[in-house]
A and B are shown apart, each in its own frame.
Chain A
Amino acid sequence: MSALLELRDVHARYGAVKVLHGVSLSVREGEVVALLGANGAGKTTTLRTISGMVKRSGEILLAGRRIASSPEGVARAGVAHVPEGRGTFAELSVRDNLRLGAYAAGRNGGFTRAYAYFPWLEERAAQQAGTLSGGEQQMLALARALMSHPRLLLLDEPSLGLAPRVVRELFQIVRRLNEEEGLAVLVVEQNASLALDVATRAYVLETGRVALEGSSDELRANDDVRRSYLGY
């Protein structure tokens, strides 16, 4: 299968602080790829760089073509990014949050799909999004991402701060989206065992460089990964 997303020797900086020092990675069509790494390794920055929110050099290709350099352009090209902290519009209703998900898409029908995966959202469409629980807000963020019919989903630490049961439910839906819709996903996770369960391949980032890459099985079997990220 061809690469849907490809980063070639990508460098990124915040002002004078260099954070990514030549990251190369790829996500193929229909694939779930995990991005692992310690705090501050640059995982969030990698996703933000793909979305055009950080100054960069190097090449980023989406379906073989240079990706747009602005977040608006990347969104319009079919990349949905659920950021760290979920990006909920807390003061807006659930419905308006979902409408915003479709902002970049020229297509309708998002609500049907979002409600198919998250039926409870329909009953609570009028509720203020900020009054949802953390888990519900993460589900809303995922539903919002679906609204644009994305070809690639960028997920930043969806499990952060959520109860294990909610996290399992969330990853179950990510798996279904991948299997049923062929949605390609690049997911950043601290919870490595969970991420490796749903991903086919993974990259390990260390201080802005790819330190390791391989299939999920290979990484699970790797002693360093086991000690540092799986904890056994």
Chain B
Amino acid sequence: MADLLQQIVSGLASGGIYASLALALVLIYRATRVVNFGQGEMAMFTTFVAWSLANHLPYWAAFALTLVIAFAGGAALELLLIRPIRDAPVLTVVTVTIGVLIGLNGLARLIWGNEPRQLESPFSTEPVRIGGVAFSLQDLGTIAVSLAIVAVLWLFFQRTKVGLGLRAAALNPSASRLVGVRVGAMLALGWGLAAVLGAVAGLMAAPALGSFDQNMMQPILLYAFAAAILGGIDSPLGAVVGGLGLGVIVNLLGTYVDVVGAELRLPVALLIILVVLLVRPAGLFGREAVRRV
């Protein structure tokens, strides 16, 4: 029983990372109607930035500064690469996001070289005992940070005027412009926020991985894709629930089902998603908008 609880918490920790990155995918999907294949490498790049900063700054200062840089970088990508092709077919835009993937991976190798790096965890590796069960403080911290960023974003979207403008711009650009929403600015803002979410995912993933290199986010991006699709690609709630759920399921399968082990986790996860999608093609929380004429 204690072991099960530990495994669930540990699954939630990876799940929080998948959820953050899945939410980033959903944000961009809603705003730009494309799946951003560059999302993982954006996260990886900002993790390297954090690593450089952490050599000179206390961890949380480096963390905060990294999020600011990530925001600016994400917005800049939208302005420089996506905006010029905003009227192009979806496939063109997707191709550009793949270009972002390759470009950032190469750039990161150029800047930081090929050897693996370590980013210290902000949380002690000491276990904490809660009701007789030992939990890893790092797992709990990862869950807390992921949930905190999701909660802050949710409040921003629901409670602030700019958040409302972002939602509106994604749903109905032309009607949004008529009420005075600067749709172009909202797109850049959306990319910036997605990059921030990705940065959080990368920063939480790096210590969990032990050491990281330029390919660190690639398996995580696959899980995030899976989580986003499981939740419903245009549902932020779906991305969060999908990410957390996937983290737990994958961890439990890997631990308790011998044939799955470490190797088969990803294929099994994809299989589960396939089954869900057969039953609910729009994903768990994705639904066709209710509309009457």
Given contacts A92-B171, A100-B168, A131 and B292 within 8 Å (CB-CB): yes
Question: Quick check: A96 and B164 within 8 Å, CB to CB?
Answer: yes
A51 at the binding interface (Cβ < 8 Å): yes
B290 at the binding interface (Cβ < 8 Å): yes
CB distance from B70 to the nearest CB of A (A): 27
- Choose among A70, A90, A144 the residue that contacts B179 (Cβ–Cβ < 8 A): A144
CB-defined contacts of B177 to chain A, threshold 8 Å: 53, 70-72, 75
- Cβ-Cβ contact count across A and B, 8 Å cutoff: 79
What sequence of 0s and 1s flags, for each residue 53-95 of chain A, a beta carbon within 8 Å of any chain B beta carbon? 1000000000000000011100110000101000111111000
What sequence of 0s and 1s flags, for each residue 91-115 of chain B, a beta carbon within 8 Å of any chain A beta carbon? 0000000000000000000000000
Question: Quick check: B293 and A89 within 8 Å, CB to CB?
Answer: no
Question: Quick check: A81 and B289 within 8 Å, CB to CB?
Answer: no
Question: Quick check: B178 and A130 within 8 Å, CB to CB?
Answer: no
CB distance from A176 to the nearest CB of B (A): 23
Question: Quick check: A71 and B178 within 8 Å, CB to CB?
Answer: yes
B176 at the binding interface (Cβ < 8 Å): yes
Question: Quick check: A148 and B179 within 8 Å, CB to CB?
Answer: yes
Given contacts A53-B174, A89-B172, A100 and B290 within 8 Å (CB-CB): no
CB distance from B157 to the nearest CB of A (A): 11
CB-defined contacts of B168 to chain A, threshold 8 Å: 89, 92, 96, 100, 103
CB-defined contacts of A71 to chain B, threshold 8 Å: 177-178, 180
Question: Quick check: A51 and B178 within 8 Å, CB to CB?
Answer: yes
Q: Which of A91-134 contact B (CB under 8 A)?
A: 91-92, 96, 99-101, 103-105, 128, 130-134
A161 at the binding interface (Cβ < 8 Å): yes
Question: Quick check: A90 and B290 within 8 Å, CB to CB?
Answer: yes
CB-defined contacts of A105 to chain B, threshold 8 Å: 180
CB distance from B165 to the nearest CB of A (A): 6
- Looking across the interface, which residue of chain A has its beta carbon closest to that of B181? A103
Bound complex: CA A96 to CA B289 (Å): 16
Given contacts A92-B171, A100-B164, A103-B164, A134 and B292 within 8 Å (CB-CB): yes
Most A CB within 10 A of own CB, among B175, B181, B292, B293:
B175
- Choose among B174, B179, B292 the residue that contacts A100 (Cβ–Cβ < 8 A): B179
B86 at the binding interface (Cβ < 8 Å): no
Question: Quick check: A130 and B165 within 8 Å, CB to CB?
Answer: no
Question: Quick check: A131 and B290 within 8 Å, CB to CB?
Answer: yes
Question: Quick check: B293 and A134 within 8 Å, CB to CB?
Answer: yes
CB distance from B7 to the nearest CB of A (A): 37
- Looking across the interface, which residue of chain A has its beta carbon closest to that of B184? A72
CB-defined contacts of A104 to chain B, threshold 8 Å: 179-180
Bound complex: CA A133 to CA B175 (Å): 19
Question: Quick check: B179 and A101 within 8 Å, CB to CB?
Answer: yes
Bound complex: CA A128 to CA B289 (Å): 10
Given contacts A99-B164, A133-B292, A83 and B171 within 8 Å (CB-CB): no
Question: Quick check: B292 and A83 within 8 Å, CB to CB?
Answer: no
Question: Quick check: B181 and A100 within 8 Å, CB to CB?
Answer: yes
Most A CB within 10 A of own CB, among B168, B180, B289, B291:
B180
Bound complex: CA A105 to CA B290 (Å): 29
CB-defined contacts of A96 to chain B, threshold 8 Å: 164, 167-168
- Choose among B178, B181, B289 the residue that contacts A90 (Cβ–Cβ < 8 A): B289
Bound complex: CA A128 to CA B167 (Å): 14
Bound complex: CA A176 to CA B178 (Å): 24
Most B CB within 10 A of own CB, among A53, A76, A88, A100:
A100
What sequence of 0s and 1s flags, for each residue 150-172 of chain B, a beta carbon within 8 Å of any chain A beta carbon? 00000000000100110110011
B117 at the binding interface (Cβ < 8 Å): no
Bound complex: CA A75 to CA B291 (Å): 26
CB distance from B72 to the nearest CB of A (A): 23
CB distance from A9 to the nearest CB of B (A): 25
- Looking across the interface, which residue of chain B has its beta carbon closest to that of A86? B175
- Looking across the interface, which residue of chain A has its beta carbon closest to that of B293? A134
Please, could you name 17 A-B residue pairs with CB atoms under 8 Å apart, sorted by A? A51-B178, A71-B177, A71-B180, A72-B180, A75-B180, A87-B178, A89-B172, A90-B172, A90-B291, A96-B164, A99-B161, A100-B164, A103-B165, A103-B168, A103-B180, A128-B290, A148-B180
Interface, chain B (partner A; CB < 8 A) = 161, 164-165, 167-168, 171-172, 174-182, 289-293
Seed contacts A91-B289, A133-B292; 10 additional CB < 8 Å A-B pairs: A51-B178, A53-B178, A87-B178, A92-B167, A99-B161, A100-B164, A100-B176, A103-B164, A103-B179, A137-B292
What 8 A-B pairs come out closest when comparing CB atoms? A104-B180, A87-B175, A75-B180, A71-B177, A130-B290, A130-B291, A81-B178, A103-B180
